[in-house]
């Protein structure tokens, strides 16, 4: 089950403080990068719940993000629904789609689960790419942001939108912790550790997996709605398997199954991408080398490495304290 410890709380506070500082002080370009990080962080939190805590390594979370984005765009821009209603409907639709995918794929494991989710993702991508109602290759534009003028917030302002995304990310993180600490989350931990025994105890395992995948998909859909509002334009590329692959890279880079790690991964990935792409068009090569180094180091991503160092330091401190105590005892005996 997910537990917060001193290190996780510290890293979380540092990340929140850095994001808040950036949101309040950065210029336009800095705010755009921050918003990109925050939206990616929501997507990778969704993926970490499914993959890191449930063993469901998905290659369709990009597509689910796209479903959320397109549903919001169609319902708000074409069907004329108000943005909050369109947003709620988009989340419900994405959650429903994800639940069905989870229910179908729940009986498969490992590479077969990955391939099944990839197939679902590519089906969605191909359909959206070819269907005129979704604007085909050209995508859809004219997407409105939420209207929060009632509380005096103008989300068309980049700073306000970045702060709004930060608030949403905070809420999503809190919801993720609650999910993982709930009865459903505990059962998911049981399934992850020993699926056969959970079944023998009377648990309908596929249902637990489908429920968690549905919730995870809903969060991915929320990332999609925010992405659509951020750029105010969407294209089928959002549903491509490469988006899912990139999200998986970020989760592994940050630290699978830690919740905090993927947030670190999202920040590291977007910053690396922007810094390196300014230096070389082959920035993917550098990111690839870093990913290989992280995987080969056997640490659980950047956060896993930090945790290992922290744990080692704590152990050394404890050993030093024992040595000090023993020396004191010897001296007092003498």
Partner 1 sequence: MLETRNLDKSFGAVHVTRDVSLKLERGERRVILGPNGAGKTTLFNQLVGELTPDSGSVHLAGADVTALPVAKRARRGLSRSYQKNTLFDGLTVEENLGLAAAVHTGSATQLWSDSLAKPEVREIVEEVAEQVNLTDFLQARVSEVSYGVRRQLEVGVALATRPHVLLMDEPTSGVGPEMAKGFHDLLNNLPRDLTLLIIEHDMDLAFDVADTITVLNYGEVVFDGLPEAARGSSLLKEIYLGSWEDA
**Spatial CB neighbours of 17, under 8 Å, sequence gap ≥ 6:** none
Residue 203 CB, shortest distance to partner 1, in Å, is: 5
How far apart are alpha carbons 36 and 30 in whole angstroms? 10
Residue 205 CB, shortest distance to partner 1, in Å, is: 7
- Give, in degrees to the nearest 5, the angle at Cα 253 between 251 and 254: 65
Among 67, 43, 60, residue whose Cα is nearest residue 128: 67
How far apart are alpha carbons 311 and 295 in whole angstroms? 19
Residue 169 CB, shortest distance to partner 1, in Å, is: 20
The HSE-up count of residue 158 (CA atoms within 13 Å, CB side) is 16
Residue 193 CB, shortest distance to partner 1, in Å, is: 4
Instruction: Return the number of the residue (187 or 244) whose C-beta is nearest partner 1.
Output: 187
- Widest pairwise Cα distance in the chain: 90
Phi, psi of 27 (to 5 degrees): -85, -170
Residue 172 CB, shortest distance to partner 1, in Å, is: 15
How far apart are alpha carbons 288 and 29 in whole angstroms? 25
Residue 232 CB, shortest distance to partner 1, in Å, is: 33
DSSP 8-state secondary structure symbol assigned to residue 230: H
Instruction: Return the number of the residue (107 or 320) whose C-beta is nearest partner 1.
Output: 107
Residue 255 CB, shortest distance to partner 1, in Å, is: 16
Residues that bind partner 1 (CB under 8 A): 1, 178-179, 181-184, 186-187, 189-190, 193-194, 196-205, 207-208, 211, 215
Instruction: Return the number of the residue (135 or 214) whose C-beta is nearest partner 1.
Output: 214
Tokens of 235: 């294209």
Instruction: Return the number of the residue (143 or 172) whose C-beta is nearest partner 1.
Output: 172
Instruction: Return the number of the residue (205 or 276) whose C-beta is nearest partner 1.
Output: 205
Instruction: Return the number of the residue (203 or 291) whose C-beta is nearest partner 1.
Output: 203
| Residue whose entry in the numeric block shows the structure tokens 């790419």 | 129
The HSE-up count of residue 144 (CA atoms within 13 Å, CB side) is 18
Instruction: Return the number of the residue (18 or 178) whose C-beta is nearest partner 1.
Output: 178
**Spatial CB neighbours of 78, under 8 Å, sequence gap ≥ 6:** none
Instruction: Return the number of the residue (51 or 250) whose C-beta is nearest partner 1.
Output: 51
Q: How far apart are the first and last CA of the chain?
A: 49
Instruction: Return the number of the residue (209 or 273) whose C-beta is nearest partner 1.
Output: 209
Alpha helices in 150-240 (DSSP H): 158-181, 183-193, 195-200, 205-231
CB 223 within 8 A of CB 101: no
Residue 248 CB, shortest distance to partner 1, in Å, is: 22
From start to end of the chain, where are the E strands? 140-141, 233-234
Residue 184 CB, shortest distance to partner 1, in Å, is: 5
Helical (H) or strand (E) element with 110 = helix 110-130
């Amino acid at each position: 089950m997910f537990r917060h410890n001193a290190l996780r709380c510290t890293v979380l506070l540092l990340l929140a403080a850095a994001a808040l500082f950036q949101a309040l002080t950065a210029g336009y370009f800095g705010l755009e990068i921050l918003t990109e990080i925050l939206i990616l962080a929501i997507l990778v939190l969704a993926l970490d719940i499914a993959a890191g805590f449930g063993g469901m390594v998905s290659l369709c979370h990009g597509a689910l993000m796209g479903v959320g984005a397109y549903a919001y765009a169609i319902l708000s821009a074409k069907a004329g629904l108000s943005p909050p209603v369109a947003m709620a409907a988009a989340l419900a639709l994405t959650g429903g789609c994800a639940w069905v995918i989870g229910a179908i794929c729940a009986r498969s494991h490992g590479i077969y689960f990955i391939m099944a989710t990839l197939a679902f993702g590519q089906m969605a991508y191909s359909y959206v790419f070819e269907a005129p109602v979704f604007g085909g290759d050209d995508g859809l534009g004219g997407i409105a942001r939420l209207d929060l003028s009632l509380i005096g917030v103008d989300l068309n302002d980049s700073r306000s939108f970045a702060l709004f995304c930060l608030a949403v990310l905070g809420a999503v993180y809190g919801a993720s912790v609650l999910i993982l600490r709930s009865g459903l989350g505990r059962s998911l931990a049981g399934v992850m550790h020993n699926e056969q025994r959970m079944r023998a105890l009377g648990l309908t395992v596929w249902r637990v997996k489908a429920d968690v995948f549905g919730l995870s998909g809903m969060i991915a859909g929320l990332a999609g709605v925010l992405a659509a509002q951020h750029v105010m334009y969407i294209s089928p590329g959002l549903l491509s398997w490469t988006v899912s692959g990139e999200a998986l890279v970020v989760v592994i880079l940050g630290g699978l199954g830690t919740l905090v790690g993927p947030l670190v991964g999202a920040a590291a990935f977007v910053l690396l991408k922007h810094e390196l792409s300014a230096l070389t068009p082959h920035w993917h090569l550098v990111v690839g080398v870093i990913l290989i180094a992280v995987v080969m180091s056997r640490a659980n991503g950047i956060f896993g490495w930090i945790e290992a160092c922290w744990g080692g330091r704590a152990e050394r401190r404890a050993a030093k304290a024992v040595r000090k105590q023993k020396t004191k005892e010897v001296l007092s005996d003498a």
